[in-house]
Amino acid sequence: MPRQARCRPNRPSSPGATGARSAPPPQVVTAPPNYIVVHHTAAPNSTDYSQAHAFALSRSIQDHHMDSNGWSDTGQQLTISRGGYIMEGRNRSLEAVRRGEHVVGAHVANHNSEAVGIENDGTYTSEPPTGALWDSLVETVAWLVAQYGVSPANVVGHRALGATECPGDRLYGVLDDLRAAVSAAVAEMGVSDSDLRTTPLPPSPGAPENEPEQEFYHGPALGVRDPNDEEEG
């Protein structure tokens, strides 16, 4: 693992900073994840780019995941607002990344023990992400690639691993650009391709015909092959 990498996202905010509720200690696996998964939140595309909005979004997602879904905490490890603010989702995710370990979340059914997830604020079926969100996404994914030694080829949309339209056609359509930008960023950090490992992707499950349209729902997040024994659904 390329531990010499010094890149890290621009001061991601911890749950303490965003005003998150307390949550039980997460499940942690010592092996680094194989996939970095890009999601959208399926929330309205807000034009409030403030930090206050970002923190409120973070709290809303946590409330939804804990109160409506019955989960122990926020499902994803990281959240990025349309103003470009980067926030820790599930508790202790950042310290795990820094150790090369992985906090098991609830964002991509049946792959949660091997996939780290980034939820990007908004709905990207027909509108592209903001420039600020994009820049923070590149920075965040480059950091994850360097910390975990995962090839940019394994930076995927949720739909690659689950039956969903997530992260929306517009964001999905620029994932090649994201991989290219991340490759350039990690090369600048001195991480070479030989440091990075590629994991084959399972067959694509395809999109469902009638995906529910509801805020914060963006496809199957928990499955029978996940180890989240404290989760309800």
Question: Which residues make up the interface to Zn ion (CB under 5 A)?
Answer: 39, 158, 166, 218-219
- Rg over alpha carbons for the chain, rounded to the nearest Å, is 16
- Shorter beta-carbon distance to Zn ion: residue 75 or 84: 75
- Shorter beta-carbon distance to Zn ion: residue 97 or 221: 221
- Shorter beta-carbon distance to Zn ion: residue 19 or 44: 44
Residue among 124, 175, 120 at smallest CA distance from 152 = 175
Q: Token pair for residue 65?
A: 């995941």
Q: With beta carbons less than 8 A apart as the criterion, state whether 148 and 103 touch.
A: no
The CB-of-21 to Zn ion minimum distance in angstroms stands at 22
Residue among 137, 140, 202, 198 at smallest CA distance from 167 = 137
Exposed (0-12), middle (13-18) or buried (19+): which is 206, by Cβ within 10 Å? exposed
- Shorter beta-carbon distance to Zn ion: residue 72 or 76: 76
Cα–Cα distance, 117 to 106 (Å, whole number): 9
Written as one string, the DSSP assignment of 155-197 is EEEGGGTSSS-TT-HHHHTTHHHHHHHHHHHHHHTT--GGG-B
The CB-of-5 to Zn ion minimum distance in angstroms stands at 27
Coil, helix or strand at residue 230 = coil
The CB-of-99 to Zn ion minimum distance in angstroms stands at 26
- Shorter beta-carbon distance to Zn ion: residue 79 or 183: 79
The CB-of-113 to Zn ion minimum distance in angstroms stands at 17
- Shorter beta-carbon distance to Zn ion: residue 78 or 166: 166
The CB-of-58 to Zn ion minimum distance in angstroms stands at 16
Cβ-based neighbours of 214, under 8 Å, separated by 6 or more: 42
The CB-of-36 to Zn ion minimum distance in angstroms stands at 13
